[in-house]
Amino acid sequence: MPPKTKFTRKEIIQVAFEMAREKGIESVVARELGKKLGTSSSPIFTAFKNMEEVQQEVRALALKEFESCVSDALNFTPAFKYVGMKMIEFAMREPKLFQLIYMREREESQTYEEMVVSLGNTVEVCIQIMQRDYGLDRKDAELLFKMTWLHTFSICALVANKVCHFSMEEISEILSVSFQGTLMLIKSGTFHTIPVNKQEK
């Protein structure tokens, strides 16, 4: 039977997604994707403008994969810690997808605010959980999210790149200490930046 020469966008993206999942987004190039499809690269460029568009769709699918892992967060207590645990678990289980979603190198770095917009619906869910569960106003909930997300992300980066290994028990303890400490400071009204000053001799 002759090889299939026509593919839907969905079929192409699914194959590209599996390539990215196994070897990273850098493996998703036209020639290799065509091979995986059992054809040339021509069908890819019939369905997509360029490979950048393919990679963008793969990233969107990877983000949906992550969001599906935390979609039931409201069924757990504390819900925000559950999200953090699932995020780290995802980084362990799907390191290449985690790197694709959160660790792509860019031509120019983003601000934290710009980066948060790209994280999808999970951010808003987490902020609403914090407001509901801890009696915080929007501003304080956003600050708590920022501090604890950055801490959680640092653990994810370590495990996704196999720099360091933690058991889930260790991760649970680390997240609890970080979260509770930050929450206590915010609710006490004493949260402030401490500058680093050179001591006079």
pLDDT, tens digit, for every residue of 25-51? 999 999 999 999 998 888 899 999 999
Q: Taking residues 161-176, report their average pLDDT.
A: 94
Which pairs with CB-CB distance under 8 Å and at least 24 residues apart come from 158-162?
A: 159/88, 159/91, 159/92, 159/95, 160/91, 160/92, 160/95, 160/98, 160/99, 160/103, 161/95, 161/99, 162/95
Distance CA 93, CA 98 (A): 9
The yes-or-no verdict on residue 164 having pLDDT over 80 is yes
Structural domain boundaries of the chain? Answer: 9-54, 71-188
- For residue 171, the model assigns a pLDDT of 95
pLDDT, tens digit, for every residue of 93-139? 999 999 999 888 777 888 988 888 877 777 888 898 899 889 999 99
The yes-or-no verdict on residue 8 having pLDDT over 50 is yes
Q: Which two tokens stand for residue 73?
A: 């967060």
Cβ-contact 54, 13 below 8 angstroms? yes
Element (H, E) at 93: helix 79-93
Looking at residue 118, the DSSP 8-state letter turns out to be: T
Which has the higher per-residue pLDDT, 194 or 89?
89
The domain made up of 9-54 is a member of CATH 1.20.1050.140? no
When the pLDDT of each residue in the chain is averaged and rounded to a whole number, the result is: 90
Band of pLDDT at residue 2, cut at 50, 70 and 90:
very low
Neighbours of 119 (CB within 10 A): 16
Work out whether the CA dihedral 27, 71, 82, 183 comes out positive or negative.
positive
The reply to whether the predicted model has a pTM over 0.75 is yes
- For residue 5, the model assigns a pLDDT of 54
Residue 179: helix, strand or coil by DSSP?
helix
Distance CA 68, CA 138 (A): 25
**DSSP count for the chain of H helices, then E strands:** 10, 0
Query: DSSP per residue over 66-77, as a string?
Result: HHHHHTTGGGSS
Band of pLDDT at residue 67, cut at 50, 70 and 90:
confident
Q: Taking residues 5-28, report their average pLDDT.
A: 93
